[in-house]
Chains A and B, each alone.
Chain A
Amino acid sequence: MTVSAPLMTEQAPATTAAGPYRRMVRMFLANRLAVTGLVILGLLLVFCFIGPLIHHTDQVHTQLADATLSPGTRGHLLGTDDVGRDVLGRLMVGGQTSLEIGIAAGLLATLIGTVWGAISGYAGGWIDAVMMRVVDAGIAIPALFLLLVTATILRPTVPVQILIIGCVSWLVPARLVRAEALSLRSRDYVQAMKAMGGGHGRAVFRHVIPNAIGTVVVNATFQVADAILLIAYVSFLGLGVAPPKTDWGGMLSKGISYTSEGYWWLIFPAGLAIVLVVCAFNCIGDGLRDAFEVRLQGR
């Protein structure tokens, strides 16, 4: 019995029948967790973005007369919050913010990190040294400090949050892509291109980045998951988006302050939503990674 046996047996039929990408898809679909993650994510997207079209609620005005109604009262399926807004409807708009910021910031971080890492690794020498020291310095400063300081300068709108979170999260992908780029750099075809005086930009964008694409895509999924968690922390620390907008983290941390009151509907729906969406992205990322590994092995 060999250790890699499970991988071998599962992919064996595919190897003969199809190209690497179809094998990847199959590999991904064979991972039940990954598929579940994809389904959960789809459902959450529908809930947040289609939901408000069906479940109409006023998420702008407060209704102090209806504050903290328990679930089921006066047509509020999940009750109301401490200023009288419908919690179900709030989950939908809160989810929009969480997902928008999370996905956009995760992608932004990956983009910056990929380009930075690819250039650094491809260029090598002192350019690499300087660029990586910047990354090291960035890693050494707690993201929280950067968040706190920027929050006192800027108004917390959604684009600003995307920018801030994107800018504090690009360091890890930068290191990963650089490592890939370093190993690619020594490959013959890149060396050949350099020798032929091919454009550096071309080399980076046509060869280095595409070859690191597996790492990049997998990392992007995890980046999104991490970004969603990070905005939850940011809201918990009171630096979240400005009202009347909210996000799941903001809802959760506000709910938690009512623990002793027993208002469970202010805590668990939002908490569950965060756990679900972060899990979903992690499962997808995991599945993707396995799939990409298969592609690499098949090469």
Chain B
Amino acid sequence: MIRFLAKRLGQAIVVILLVTVIVFLLLHSVPGGPARGILGPQASPQAIAAFNHEHGFDKSLVQQYWAFLSRLLHGDLGDSYTLNQSVGSLIGQRLPKTLVLTGLSTLVALVIAIPLGVWQGRRRRGLTDYTVTTLVFVGYATPVFFLALILVIVFTEKIPILPPQAPQAQTLGALFADSRALILPVLAGAIATVAAFSRYMRSAVLDNLAEDYVRTARAKGASERRVVWLHIMRNSLTPIIAMLGYYLPVLFSGALVIESVFNYPGMGLLFWNAAQTSDYPILLGTVLVIALATVIGSLLADIVQALVDPRVRGSIR
């Protein structure tokens, strides 16, 4: 287990390094650089030169990358060009909000998707089956921004029971105090992911149904209910856990759309605004945080997987 952990950790570090290289090079290969946009057309050539010097754009790409990396190793993500704050403190303010939003919607999605997937895995073709499957597909097939629009029209205009905007509070406590305003954004996020999760669950259940241990359990006279909910579901959770780790960037992209539709100042909106203003430090910072979260997520997923599923445990070398 310790060898396995060490190996996975080493891999994770390599992946993160690779990410910094790719992201940094891509961003800095954009011709022109951000100075004119940041300073405005009025800026004199001297001002642009000063900006480029201050932010190291006059150095070679390798030198720039090295400077970036060494700052990064000291935990410094740099300062935003436009928002008067360090990238670290901006992420500190925005990340918890996004975590609340995506955490809640993922939770809701899982609560719906896991039983649904089990049920679908054992389905019989029939009207109910087709209806449910169709509904799940429709949820999956609706672009989040369209879904959000429909939710807003239905629940704030046709049946005005919910506010059209996510809570605007600064602190997490106040965020939850305004929990009614969280319903629509969480729902929009959950609907889109239910289909993806239940699809994984279903195929995992199908795989497990064919396994020997199910037959054994049945032969031993375990009740059908026990077989399904205890054995099959437990083992079918593995792919879901594995997927969650890798699903973070997707969740983030979804969060970006939801945050902008419901005007919720989280990481997604921060990233999007930075993209509009060519605020490179913020772009680099947010992408790195997400990459780090993904890598840690998949690492944790591997470990949890090993704990949950005896078969995987055996395969860890």
Chain B residues in 8 Å Cβ range of A31: 125
B246 touches A252 (CB 8 A): no
A249 touches B143 (CB 8 A): yes
**Which of A145, A149, A259, A274 is B30 in contact with, Cβ under 8 Å?**
A149
**Smallest CB gap from A236: residue in B:** B145
A108→B188 CA distance, assembly (Å): 30
B249 touches A279 (CB 8 A): no
**Which of A2, A134, A136, A233 is B257 in contact with, Cβ under 8 Å?**
A233
Interface status of A152 (Cβ within 8 A of chain B)? yes
A262-296 with Cβ < 8 A to chain B: 267, 271, 274-279, 282-283, 286, 289, 293
Chain A residues in 8 Å Cβ range of B292: 140
**Which of A139, A237, A249 is B246 in contact with, Cβ under 8 Å?**
A139
Chain B residues in 8 Å Cβ range of A237: 272
Count chain A residues whose beta carbon lies closer than 8 angstroms to a beta carbon of B.
51
Chain B residues in 8 Å Cβ range of A141: 19, 22-23, 249, 287, 290-291
A4 touches B138 (CB 8 A): no
A256 touches B141 (CB 8 A): no
A149→B274 CA distance, assembly (Å): 12
A291 to chain B, nearest CB (A): 13
A140 touches B15 (CB 8 A): yes
Chain B, 123-144, contact with A by CB distance < 8 Å: what is the 0/1 string?
A: 1110000100110011011111
**Smallest CB gap from A286: residue in B:** B133
A260 to chain B, nearest CB (A): 10
A271→B253 CA distance, assembly (Å): 20
**Smallest CB gap from B120: residue in A:** A286
A149 touches B143 (CB 8 A): no
A24→B272 CA distance, assembly (Å): 46
- Interface of B, secondary structure class, is helix
Among B54-62, B75-83, B206-214, the one that faces the other chain is B206-214
A136 touches B295 (CB 8 A): yes
A256 touches B149 (CB 8 A): yes
B1-54 with Cβ < 8 A to chain A: 11, 14-16, 18-19, 22-23, 26-27, 29-31
A236→B144 CA distance, assembly (Å): 10
A274 touches B143 (CB 8 A): yes
A137 touches B18 (CB 8 A): yes
B18 touches A274 (CB 8 A): no
B130 touches A32 (CB 8 A): yes
B299 to chain A, nearest CB (A): 10
**Smallest CB gap from B29: residue in A:** A153
Q: When A141-B19, A278-B140 are in contact, do A259 and B11 touch as well, CB less than 8 Å?
A: no
**Smallest CB gap from A259: residue in B:** B149
**Which of A137, A252, A276 is B143 in contact with, Cβ under 8 Å?**
A252
Interface status of A125 (Cβ within 8 A of chain B)? no
A133 touches B138 (CB 8 A): no
Chain B residues in 8 Å Cβ range of A278: 137, 140-141
Top 6 nearest A-B pairs (CB, nearest first) are A278-B141, A140-B291, A137-B18, A140-B294, A142-B249, A136-B15
**What residues of chain B have their CB less than 8 Å away from a CB belonging to chain A?**
11, 14-16, 18-19, 22-23, 26-27, 29-31, 122-125, 130, 133-134, 137-138, 140-146, 149, 153, 203, 206, 209-210, 214, 218, 224, 227-228, 246, 249, 252-253, 256-257, 271-272, 275, 283, 287, 290-292, 294-295, 298
